[in-house]
Amino acid sequence: MTGQENTANRELPYRAIRNVDLTVPFLDMNFKNPVMPASGCFSFGREMAALYDLNRLGAIVVKATTLDERQGNKTPRLAETAAGMLNSIGLQNPGVERVMSEELPYLTQFNQLPVIVNVAGTAIEDYVMVVQRLSDMDSITAIELNISCPNVKCGGIQFGTDPAMAQSMIRAIKEVARMPVIVKLSPNVTDIVQMAVACEEAGADALSLINTLIGMQIDVEHKRPLLANGVGGLSGPAVKPVAVRMVYEVTSAVSIPVIGMGGIMTGVDAIEFLMAGASAVQVGTANFVDPYACIRIIDELGAWCDAHGVRAVTELIGAAKA
């Protein structure tokens, strides 16, 4: 069954905005709108495809993919906070071979949907082997290098906090990648602009930021950290001001496009990131609260533009810097 057939009789919280051009140029392509789900918050799209046509999205970023299957961290590994959530999933995924044989072919039915695959690992060689395998698939639009995950004990964030290590990683990936390479940056650094510039100099085609902030919640009844891993990644509205500031700073320092994320719950939230300089946005935690979040945010973005006389969403990009 195709995505179109699967959603034909469903009432969708979506209204086409005829007077606004929502398309955005990204690298050497055009996305129909600037909104996409963030990796890890949308799995590989199957569950959401039962609710709406994934072709409505600007793009999809699938769950992190590693060389071998990962079971992830022990439970509990999710906790709600006052203004978001903590997660310590630990990059659970079936491994690159099954992702290629079982998950990515499913998405080909959505022929208007750019597919971005998030890649993670514990060593540069792991990343390179995964990207080499994925480069055999013509259906992949871009790779997003996850060098910023705070929930694994080796790999991930160690590459995202050291400019020299990040550059070594990116150069090795660029040697084998047949598609554009987006680098996902960590906010858990002293100077994110320094990291961004280092990534651009090493050949990154685009950046996405921010990943989660490191946080902890205490189980006061048992007098211990609530998450089995101790710490987790904080996401949701609590991190949005930090994320907007970092996007603003990074887009002022690099010439490659930036995807902004961090606490986007509404269309107006997305507009803040665009005005701060982002070319597109990713929606993460909101998907757990509202499975229609991405579609609703697209609708709200278009409606805001229509109400404010904005005829093309590209007019918003960097508008706060004018």
Mind listing the pLDDT tens digit for each residue in 147-167? 865 444 444 556 777 899 899
What pLDDT is stored for residue 231 in this prediction?
94
Q: Give me the active site residues, please.
A: 149
**How far is C-alpha 34 from the chain's CA centre?**
12
Q: What is the pTM of this model?
A: 0.92
User: For residues 280 and 35, is the Cβ–Cβ distance under 8 A?
Assistant: yes
Binding site, annotated residues for FMN: 39, 63-64, 118, 146, 184, 210, 236, 262-263, 284-285
Tokens of 30: 């055009």
Residue 113: C-alpha distances to residues 61, 104, 108, 148, 315 (Å): 10, 12, 8, 25, 23
With b for 16 or more beta-carbon neighbours within 10 A and e for fewer, the 17-54 pattern comes to beebbbebebbeeebbbbbbbbbbbbebbeebbeebbb
Query: What is the Cα–Cα distance from 14 to 32, expressed in whole angstroms?
Result: 15
Residues annotated within a binding site: 39, 63-64, 87-91, 118, 146, 184, 210-212, 236, 262-263, 284-285
Q: Specify binding-site residues for substrate.
A: 63, 87-91, 146, 211-212
Tens-place pLDDT, residues 202-230: 999 999 999 999 999 999 999 999 999 99
Taking alpha carbons only, the member of 251, 252, 264, 271 closest to residue 314 is: 271
pLDDT of 226 reads 95
Going residue by residue through the chain, which has 322 residues, state the pLDDT in tens, using 9 for 90 and above: 333 334 333 444 445 556 899 999 999 889 999 999 999 899 999 999 999 999 999 999 999 999 999 998 999 999 999 999 999 998 899 999 999 999 999 999 999 999 999 999 988 899 999 999 999 999 999 999 998 654 444 445 567 778 998 999 999 999 999 999 999 999 999 999 999 999 999 999 999 999 999 999 999 999 999 999 999 999 999 999 999 999 999 999 999 999 999 999 999 999 999 999 999 999 999 999 999 999 999 999 999 999 999 999 999 999 999 6
- Whole-number pLDDT of residue 122: 86
Q: Kindly list the strands in the beta sheet with 115-119, ordered across the sheet, starting from the edge strand earlier in the chain.
A: 35-37, 280-283, 258-260, 206-209, 181-184, 142-146, 115-119, 60-65
β-bridge partners, 145:
119, 183
- Residue 200, pLDDT score: 98
User: What does the buried/exposed string (b/e) look like for 236-273 if buried means 16 or more CB atoms within 10 Å of the residue's CB?
Assistant: bbbbbebbbebbbbbbeebebbbbbbbbbbbbebbbbb
CA 227 to CA 88: how far, in whole Å? Answer: 7
Task: Give the pLDDT confidence score for residue 7 in this predicted structure.
Answer: 37
Residue 54 DSSP symbol: G
How many angstroms separate the first and last alpha carbons of the chain? 48
CB neighbours of 129 closer than 8 A, spacing ≥ 6? 67, 96
- SS3 assignment, position 146: strand
Using CA of residue 192, residue 118, residue 75, residue 159, what is the dihedral sign? negative
pLDDT of res. 158: 61
